[in-house]
Amino acid sequence: MENYSKQREEIIDIMKELYNHPTAEEIYFLVKQKDPAISRSTVYRNLKFLSDKGVVTQISVSNGPDRYDYIEERKKHGHVICTKCGRLYDFNYDLDIEKVKQNIFSQTGVEILNDGIAMKGICSSCKSKM
């Protein structure tokens, strides 16, 4: 996995346009509109490749398919998922995040990735229904 391919370029192009954390399946259908011959496994293979390369983030959510996010350097952010409705929200990093990262590093030796912050909680609309 190092060579150019038309399909990989198409996948990256689509990812750049999307801001809603699409699933592999959603990406597959969108790319398919431009390139009907593309196969599902090419999409999965490339998403894995791209997340290894740090081009996209893979967000694994409970009880559902993984979501993907194109990483823009200028927009570092974390993700929060509502455990009731499954909705995924972005949030921007603040100063305190850096302190938390350092604390975790000193406790565990793990260096948190720039996109590696994911939280679980309950969103306001779900909370109001309880």
Partner DNA sequence: TTCCATGCAAATCGTTTGCATAAAC
Partner DNA sequence: GTTTATGCAAACGATTTGCATGGAA
Does 18 bind its own copies (CB under 8 A)? Our answer is no
> At its nearest, how many Å lie between DNA and the CB of residue 39?
3
Q: Residue from 33, 111, 129, 130 that binds its own copies (CB under 8 A)?
A: 111
| Closer residue to DNA (CB): 23 or 114 | 23
Check residue 20 and report its DSSP letter.
S
Does 54 bind DNA (CB under 7 A)? Our answer is no
Q: Residue from 40, 76, 87, 99 that binds DNA (CB under 7 A)?
A: 40
Backbone φ and ψ of 68, nearest 5°: -130, 150
* 19-78 residues near its own copies, rule: CB under 8 A: 58, 60-63, 66, 78
3 state SS for 61-101: CCCCCCEEEECCCCCCEEEEEECCCCCEEEEECCHHHHHHH
Distances (CA, A) of 128 to 10, 70, 119, 121, 123: 41, 32, 20, 14, 9
Question: Helix, strand, or coil here: 123?
Answer: coil
Does 97 bind its own copies (CB under 8 A)? Our answer is yes
By CB under 7 A, name the binding residues for DNA. 1-8, 23-25, 35, 37-42, 44-46, 48, 63-66
